Structure 1
Amino acid sequence: MSLLRALRDKKNTLSKTIRRRPAPAADSETDSAAQVETEEAEGYLHHGWTRRVIGYVAILMMVNVMVDSVLASPTFVLPQLGEAFHTNQFAWIGSSAMLAGAMWAPLLGKSADINGKRKILVITLLVAGAGGLVCLIAPNIGVFVFGRLLQGAAVAALFLTVALIRDICAPKFAMVVTGFVTSGSAVFGIITPFILEPALHAFGWRIVFVISAVFACLAALLVRLVIPESRKTAPGTVDVKGALVLGLGLAGVLVYISLGQVFGWLSPISLVVLLVGAVALTYWYRVLSLKPQPIVDVRGISAVLGLGLLVVIMGTGAYQSMLQLFSMLIEVSPDEGLGYGIAAPAALGLLFGVPSLGIMLGGVAAGTISARVGPVWSLGGGVLLGLLATSIMLVAGAGSLPLAVLSSFMLSMTAGSMVTSGFNLASVLAPPERQGTVSSLVMVMIAVGSVTMNFIGSAVLGATRITHNGESVNSSLGVHSYIAVAGVVFALAIIPTFFLVRRMRGHVTVSAPVSHI
């Protein structure tokens, strides 16, 4: 009996061993399949220029040309819009789309990571196209501003094109391509005035919004048909309530900063807008951002990304404020003796046409440098170039057209470099499935920096205005103080840049993200 029992136990042991043996093989098989799947997915990434990549880049550049048309084209028809809507409050026309872009960005960034970047980009373009149609048929200024808010969704299209690049191209090559996509559209800024001028004479101010709507719909169609969908998405859901509250808070504060000088800082409307924005931001930070999947994980932002965003907000803000200043300088002749006028027959074309090339050169150069040594170095180079440009204007005097053109060109290179480098830094710091969320933060910082620095510059000019020939005009002291403020901001941006370079030292490779946000 004991012998039979021993033989039975041995048989059972062997059976269990045999049954367990396939398990390790199955695990190995699963791991191998996963590895092959990963390698195949990575194999779809492009490592160099091909006809297909050129086609992708051309379409994404077209998207950003549409973004430029949304932001800049209405400024060509401000007098006609004023007559059509019987208003002189042009600030709403210029600021509404950018402010709406800051409001849209967090929602669209998170949605893109979860639902696919191409899908959200197509929806964004269609919303922007609908906004153009609303502006086209608007019977009053209120409906027109609503259309501009819808058009503001196009601003978010910029960072979605960048996020898509990371899904199409290998990391290092993606940095070079980003430079072309973010800044290549600036070249069209040279020919835009020449195209719009005869069209405006023939069809009136509405042609601007017809072109914008057609561009948006055409871009949406091409993106849907040609651009591949994201292969990597993040699990989770979109906190729509959090996105709306955060967007409302950002819009409220930025509207107050941007338009308070127009409507009065202490007027009831301005104070209500500021209060609503502040309450919304406070509620979002204390309550909604603590949810398991917030629209932006602000507490999870790494020190490196925080430093990068700080450099972006300071550098792009200083550049945008200088761009606003140039538009004022060309209206005053040097003969008036105010010490800052640069009005001349070619001033408009030289100050706003030639620098478009600078934006493209700065963006392409930043992309190339980022791919070789890392985006922090091109970001720092943009800051130093901006500081040099403002120093030239401050020391040499703003009354010289050649020096103003040189400074404008250098500042445009700064703009192209900083925008490209900011997005490239985000691509290094975030995994592919979170590119939309992190890139949206860069877009928000660009909007915040632009609005804030434009307000500071306007306040400086307003406090130093003088009376000349019976009219209140900007003084030479005010203009030079304005330039000095921009220069100081560039100089201060060197501090976070220094710490950013130290933290990113040793992370030159871009084959994988160095940290999560």
Structure 2
Amino acid sequence: MNDATVELDPIVEERRWSGRLIGWVAVLVLANRVADTVMTTPQMVLSEMLEYFGTDQVAWLNSSALLAGAIWSPLLAKSADIFGKRRVLLLTLLVAGAGSVVCLIAPNLAVFLLGRVMQGAAMAVVFLTVALTRQISTPRVAMTAIGIVTSASAIVGIVEPFLMDPLIDRFGFQSVFAVSVALAAVAALCVLRLIPESPVRSSGRVDVGGALLLGGGLAAVLGYASLGQDLGWLSGGMIILLAAGAAALTGWVVLALRVDDPIVDIRALNRPLVLTLLAVVLAAGSFQAMIQLTDLITEVSPDLGLGYGLKDLGPEAVLFAAPAPGILLGGTLAGWLATRIGPARTLLGGIAIGTVATFTMLAGVSSFPLMAGCIGLLGIAAGAIGASGFNLATDLAPPERHGVVSGLVSVMLAIGGAVVTVAGTAVLNATTTEVDGAPHNSATGVYLYVLIAGILFALAAVTATVLVRNRSAPRQTPVNRGRHARV
């Protein structure tokens, strides 16, 4: 295993906030907006795409980019550590932009899905901007900047429907991909012209076989979690997909323990980093699950007498918009506080806020003002958890591995969201009831859903508490015991 680093570029490192650093952060926020537009905006035109391509494969249209992102991420993360974060970020934006072009002109579903696979590379943009930010500024400045970089693009989500709806009405679903092309092009040009390269590189090599095993295994498992509900958990295709994913991940573990320079060095995953990833996956999954539940509850009228429901109790746009300013506030504040109290404590704080907000939603499922407040708090929690997870992971790893560990955090965010949401949906489907001959989610199912998310948040809080105690514990100075002493 070779962890040596090679400094190939002049060190450009900001030690305090300046006009130049603000410009860099703005460009990286723009790059992250490309990722948001690629991964989530197409959901606005899902029905139009189904009609255009003459298909009912909702699951594939929704999940194709996410699954492809799981395959892209390990390869791009390791490449960034070896060849430079800026260079790989630029390549990623170009691939995602090219994928948007393919989706824009796709004559059939097969070509469209190929474009979505290329667009999936955009999943790597977030962790690449984090690793780059960490290495072009000092840690004290970088932690605050990472909080902004990972959360500021969420605020665009508030105005996006108002900007996109007129374009969609006039030009159809293709307008979504035209905007993605334009954003990717502008972001790539800005990165090329304005952002410096990271000064630290690893001297290793890219284990392509390991990257394909890890990425393919993650994609298969995520595919089973994302598609199983629509295609059947026990159907032959889904069982084969799950088995293939498990086999690929097992093969990756075996390979990673045998080669000198694996795509992710399992032996270097120390206890604090593993605890960080565990806390992130639990908390992120709970947040995503609660956002989906909110979408379901807003469609149910309290007049049905189910014991929950928010329809017509207030403007639904408030609930949909509430997480975005919270994410920006939580991410920025967590980044700023991390320089003063440490990222482990800000991670715990974000998880604690999410835990309180989730359990409070047991009463909020039938109270619009309470639900709006809880969603806002969940947004703050999500922003703090994302920023703190990236800050803590990069703080625990040497600079030559910042790309890989940032990629691990990004993958954990995706896995948590997919798995916990699917589990919650299974609970709802198992506890349905009928009102006037129509099936509805029961109050029992809704409350169980909230309880599961709350318990997972609480488990994440316990994990983060252990992290804080480990980080706060004084380090013991080794005692010299002669020739047998360890140093």
For normalisation by structure 1, the TM-score amounts to 0.88
Picking from 283, 290, 299, the partner of 2:251 is 283
Asked if structure 1 preserves the Cα contact closer than 8 Å seen for 2:205 and 2:261, the reply is yes
Which structure 1 segments of 5+ residues have no match? Answer: 1-36, 509-517
* Amino acid paired to 2:393: A
Q: How far does residue 357 in structure 1 lie from its aligned partner after superposition? A: 0.3
Asked if structure 2 preserves the Cα contact closer than 8 Å seen for 1:374 and 1:507, the reply is no
Asked if structure 1 preserves the Cα contact closer than 8 Å seen for 2:256 and 2:266, the reply is no
Tell me the secondary structure at the aligned position of residue 467 of structure 1. Answer: strand
Q: How far does residue 345 in structure 1 lie from its aligned partner after superposition? A: 7.7
In the alignment, which residue of structure 2 is the partner of 1:32? none
Tell me the secondary structure at the aligned position of residue 472 of structure 1. Answer: strand
C-alpha distance in structure 2 between counterparts of 1:157 and 1:57, whole Å: 14
In the alignment, which residue of structure 2 is the partner of 1:22? none
* Amino acid paired to 1:60: L
Alignment of 1:294-309 (within 5 A): 294-309=262-277
In the alignment, which residue of structure 2 is the partner of 1:475? 442
Tell me the secondary structure at the aligned position of residue 14 of structure 2. Answer: coil
Tell me the secondary structure at the aligned position of residue 56 of structure 2. Answer: coil
C-alpha distance in structure 2 between counterparts of 1:406 and 1:507, whole Å: 39
Q: How far does residue 338 in structure 1 lie from its aligned partner after superposition? A: 1.5
Shift of the 99–344 alpha-carbon distance from structure 1 to 2, 3 Å rule, reads farther
* Amino acid paired to 1:427: T
Shift of the 149–346 alpha-carbon distance from structure 1 to 2, 3 Å rule, reads farther
Q: Does 1:447 align with 2:411?
A: no
Q: How far does residue 209 in structure 1 lie from its aligned partner after superposition? A: 0.5
C-alpha distance in structure 1 between counterparts of 2:46 and 2:18, whole Å: 42
Asked if structure 1 preserves the Cα contact closer than 8 Å seen for 2:256 and 2:264, the reply is no
Q: Deviation per CA, 1:207-260, whole angstroms, max 9, x where unpaired?
A: 001101111121111101110011110101101111011111111111011111
Asked if structure 2 preserves the Cα contact closer than 8 Å seen for 1:99 and 1:447, the reply is no
* Amino acid paired to 2:382: A
Q: How far does residue 141 in structure 1 lie from its aligned partner after superposition? A: 2.5
Tell me the secondary structure at the aligned position of residue 439 of structure 2. Answer: strand
Asked if structure 1 preserves the Cα contact closer than 8 Å seen for 2:106 and 2:112, the reply is yes
Alignment of 1:334-413 (within 5 A): 334-344=302-312, 346-394=314-362, 396-413=363-380
* Amino acid paired to 2:250: T
Identity of aligned residues (%): 48
Tell me the secondary structure at the aligned position of residue 287 of structure 1. Answer: helix
Alignment of 1:36-435 (within 5 A): 44-344=12-312, 346-394=314-362, 396-435=363-402
C-alpha distance in structure 2 between counterparts of 1:403 and 1:267, whole Å: 41
Asked if structure 2 preserves the Cα contact closer than 8 Å seen for 1:351 and 1:405, the reply is yes
In our comparison, the structure showing a higher alpha carbon Rg is 1
* Amino acid paired to 2:79: S
Tell me the secondary structure at the aligned position of residue 466 of structure 1. Answer: strand
Q: CA RMSD in A?
A: 1.8
Q: How far does residue 111 in structure 1 lie from its aligned partner after superposition? A: 0.2
C-alpha distance in structure 2 between counterparts of 1:429 and 1:41, whole Å: 24
Shift of the 507–197 alpha-carbon distance from structure 1 to 2, 3 Å rule, reads farther
Asked if structure 2 preserves the Cα contact closer than 8 Å seen for 1:289 and 1:296, the reply is no
> Mean Cα displacement is larger for which, 482-491 or 326-335?
326-335
C-alpha distance in structure 2 between counterparts of 1:215 and 1:435, whole Å: 26
Which structure 2 segments of 5+ residues have no match? Answer: 1-5, 476-487
C-alpha distance in structure 2 between counterparts of 1:165 and 1:316, whole Å: 22
* Amino acid paired to 1:119: R
* Amino acid paired to 1:220: A
Asked if structure 2 preserves the Cα contact closer than 8 Å seen for 1:178 and 1:424, the reply is yes
Q: Deviation per CA, 1:9-55, whole angstroms, max 9, x where unpaired?
A: xxxxxxxxxxxxxxxxxxxxxxxxxxxx99x966x421222111111
> Mean Cα displacement is larger for which, 356-365 or 282-291?
282-291
> Mean Cα displacement is larger for which, 448-457 or 139-148?
139-148
Asked if structure 1 preserves the Cα contact closer than 8 Å seen for 2:31 and 2:187, the reply is yes
Q: How far does residue 470 in structure 1 lie from its aligned partner after superposition? A: 2.0
Tell me the secondary structure at the aligned position of residue 152 of structure 1. Answer: helix
Q: How far does residue 318 in structure 1 lie from its aligned partner after superposition? A: 0.4
For normalisation by structure 2, the TM-score amounts to 0.93
Tell me the secondary structure at the aligned position of residue 202 of structure 2. Answer: coil
C-alpha distance in structure 2 between counterparts of 1:54 and 1:397, whole Å: 39
Q: Does 1:486 align with 2:447?
A: no
Q: How far does residue 341 in structure 1 lie from its aligned partner after superposition? A: 1.2
Q: How far does residue 95 in structure 1 lie from its aligned partner after superposition? A: 2.1
Q: How far does residue 145 in structure 1 lie from its aligned partner after superposition? A: 2.3
* Amino acid paired to 1:456: A
Shift of the 433–287 alpha-carbon distance from structure 1 to 2, 3 Å rule, reads closer
* Amino acid paired to 1:153: A
Q: Deviation per CA, 1:443-491, whole angstroms, max 9, x where unpaired?
A: 1111111111011111100100112222221111111111111001011
Q: How far does residue 289 in structure 1 lie from its aligned partner after superposition? A: 4.2
Asked if structure 2 preserves the Cα contact closer than 8 Å seen for 1:308 and 1:500, the reply is yes
* Amino acid paired to 1:251: A
C-alpha distance in structure 1 between counterparts of 2:122 and 2:45, whole Å: 20
C-alpha distance in structure 2 between counterparts of 1:331 and 1:457, whole Å: 17
C-alpha distance in structure 2 between counterparts of 1:405 and 1:82, whole Å: 32
Q: Deviation per CA, 1:84-118, whole angstroms, max 9, x where unpaired?
A: 12223322222222222222111111000000000
